[in-house]
Amino acid sequence: MLIDRLGPVLERAHLLSLAFRVYQRFSGFNPRVYLRNRAYTVSPEGIPIPPARLRMAVAGSTDVSVFLELGQAAAVSIRDILQRNGIDIGDLEAILDFGCGCGRVLRFWNDLAGTKLHATDYNAELAAWCEQRLPFVRIGTNRLAPPTNYPDSRFDLIYALSVFTHLPETAQTAWMNEFHRILRPGGYLLLSLHGAHYVSRLNELERSQFLAGGLVTRYDRGAGTNLCCVFHPEAYVRKHLTGHFDVVDFIPEGALGNPGQDAWLFRMRA
């Protein structure tokens, strides 16, 4: 990506954040995609489609079909990962989508009639879109650092897809502690992370750090946005993200809907 190549120069000139915003605004325009998107006003499920700038922010593409396909794949992936570990998502009383964006995955939970659905996002514009368009979910916002407003032991499942991939280490530690607070004892946490699939995208120094089991973070000043990019070796996850949790499942490149990302399922120790 062009930003990757020019990033160090732009950062020294204090222009990186501005350049990234411009890149996101204009890189998604494609005449063919624009014409194809005109066929969509609502999804096949009858739920409105978010505007192009919001789709770009959460899916890296303005293509409506890509937005819907990746969201559906992620929802199916969550169901399947839980199912292969003996958990029926329909039996869970309360679920939190942490980093919900503009409802890319949430829109596929409207059949969970017996489950209390909650979602939150750091980006107030994305959260507001969900609040107005997804009446079956209770939407909130969060700051870059915890706490949230949720009470202790509120949720049976929290999932955070491609969220820790954009948070530096200190923020990740803080959020793991917060998840421990708001999950019920024995509750589950599902994360998608940049793992070994992404080694080829790292420079020589980053690759050496990753292969040695170290967390690799790019542009931590952009924490909470796609500008900040974080890569998690398996050894790092098992050593540093399991303080309150046991690893139930690890599926390399198994987070469908977040292509190439690893899927991790944790269970909170009772």
Per-run averaged pLDDT (10 residues), the chain, 270 residues: 50 47 52 66 81 89 91 97 98 98 96 95 97 97 98 98 97 98 98 98 97 96 90 98 97 97 96
The answer to whether the Cα torsion of 265, 253, 121, 40 is positive or negative is negative
Q: What is the pLDDT of residue 93?
A: 98
What b/e sequence results for 94-132 when a residue is b if at least 16 CB atoms lie within 10 Å of its CB, and e otherwise? Answer: bbbbbbbbbbbbbbbbeeeeebebbbbbbbeebbebbbe
CB 232 within 8 A of CB 195: yes
- pLDDT the model gives residue 270: 80
Q: pLDDT value at position 34?
A: 62
According to the model, what pLDDT value does residue 35 have?
65
pLDDT in the model for residue 142: 98
pLDDT of res. 3: 47
Q: Say what the pLDDT of residue 17 is.
A: 52
Please report the pLDDT score of residue 33 as a whole number: 62
Sequence-separated (6 or more) residues with CB below 8 Å from residue 19: 3, 6, 10
Beta-ladder partners of 192: 263
What does the pLDDT read at residue 46?
Answer: 83
Q: Which domain holds residue 240?
A: 2-268
DSSP 169-188: HHHHHHHHHHHHHHEEEEEE
Judged by DSSP in three states, 216 sits in strand
Q: Give the span between the Cα atoms of 15 and 159, in whole angstroms.
A: 33
In the chain, the number of structural domains is 1
Residue 201 maps to which CATH number?
A: 3.40.50.150
Residue with tokens 């020589």: 204
Residue 222: the pLDDT is 87
